[in-house]
Structure 1
Amino acid sequence: MEIQSSTANVLFETIGPVGVITLNRPEVRNAQNGALLYDLDRALERFAYDDKLAVAIVRGNGPHFSSGHDLGKTADRHVSFERKSLWWDHVGKTGVENRFARESELYVGLCRRWRDLPKPTIAAVQGACIMGGLMLAWSCDLIVASEDAYFADAAVDFGIPGVELFGHPWELGSRRAKEFLFTAERLSAAEAYRLGMVSRLVPREQLFDASLALAQRIAQRPRLGLALAKKAINQCDDLMGYRSGTDLAFGLHQLAHAHNAESGGSPNGAGSPQLVKQTLSASSAG
């Protein structure tokens, strides 16, 4: 494996035509702050621009893929980042103007950018894949999961319909998505595989090797054919309502934030600090 670049948050290595991008905050279960998300974006951009690379694997260092947004630290909310989606800087703004710009850029905008990347991407998921982790995995074309992986979205506990990029009905089907959100129960890797959300299910110790073998097989296929097949499927999903549906749900997500802020539960709209802590602890325990 050849090291291409690394930051405190994200490692980027290559194995032949495969880019291997690793979330590198295992001490917080690869929770996603703004710095990590932009480091990840730069790694994926570098992969996209390198003609020698055909497929990317996105994985998490340590026992877990990603525990989602890093809600435990608020300093990141007041930092200006690159604005890849061309939204105004959220810093210095208040209320909905702040939250809508920040989340449109940092969560919805980046995930859509990764989904539309013309080269194939594979999420290699172990352990917890929660909320923001779900959005990242769903932004990849394929998901290879270890048998101990699980998926969760406890947003309803915060009075919020779901994570910012609301892919649940397309990934799970309407009724299973409702149960998933209504109960906040974990979705096992085996059940996700049965539903078609997970592409391959393997023992934990075989996760990377299985992901690499799949990536190497795909890398042998013609680049243009892969790009057009990916674009065709993504556009069909959009015609079946994915883009407009996720836009609509994001509006409801912002309504929920505004309600939380207005009702005094949380200045940033996420929900009361105690509830956030309890919910995240319950979702990621294990």
Structure 2
Amino acid sequence: MITYSNLGKKGNLGNQLFQIASTIGIAEKNQQEYCFPFWEYSEYFEFQFKECSSVENWTSLREKAFNYYDWEVSHGNFDLNGWLQSERYFSQSINKNLFQFKSDFEIGLLDKYHYLFARKTILVTVRRGDFVNNPNYFQLSYKFYLTALLHQFNNLQEYNIIFTSDSISYCKKHFSFLPNVFFLENLKPIEQLCLGSKFDHYIVSNSTFSWWMAWLGEKKETKIIRPMKIFDGEYSKKNDESDYFPKRWIEHNENEFKLENRYWKLKVYGYFYALQSKIQYDLKRQKKIIKNKIKDIIGYK
């Protein structure tokens, strides 16, 4: 039997989907059964997740590398721990049916947001939060999303462009000028995932949640634009991310494209917005360093 006992405790929804799908795939590849602890989102899916009664005395296995590799779990009870972020782990027999939403939940969302589908659609997912200026993560500026729209799609007027983000205010400040643009707000993560999986094309950020909306929504004719990488600096050297993005997705490098002069206002605004964010990040980091030094001096734990 194989499980992932930390489900719901290690990362948010995007991470949890990887943990479930990969655990099942690893179990099936090793001809093992699988089970999971209670999962708060299971009620939204058709698939029935078997719950574990106990994992006491199970062998705990920690992920050895960020990239895909073969787990040796053929015999015995194993509790996996890691990120498991590659579709290469996934089960071929279950595939996308694993996360088929219940019809009443899905239909209710589609009815409420029917106006988004009046044209062909492009979903742009912008990850901000703790990724911004974090040296471990590859930084994506507004130019990544804008140049991806301008150079990977023809005739943007023919599309509804939908933005979803953990900082929708950032999206509004940078992209409100686009034609037929919409900003998703006040949605629960599971609602974002369901609705997000129904669009035609995707521009994804270096976020697992972004990854999953695109992966679940991918069809034969779908175009998925993705960043060059997810990690940066020393963290990138220590973690092989070559299996993270599917090879069929289109890599986009914002530095290969120049914005026309008609976007000069956005360029100026974007520059000072990024500068302000960097200053705020550095100040917050310095405060934390000073605070920790004071704790060390006074012996506070």
Q: TM bucket by the smaller chain?
A: under 0.3
- Larger Rg: 1 or 2? 2
TM-score in terms of structure 2 length: 0.26
TM-score in terms of structure 1 length: 0.27
Q: Which has the higher helix share?
A: 1
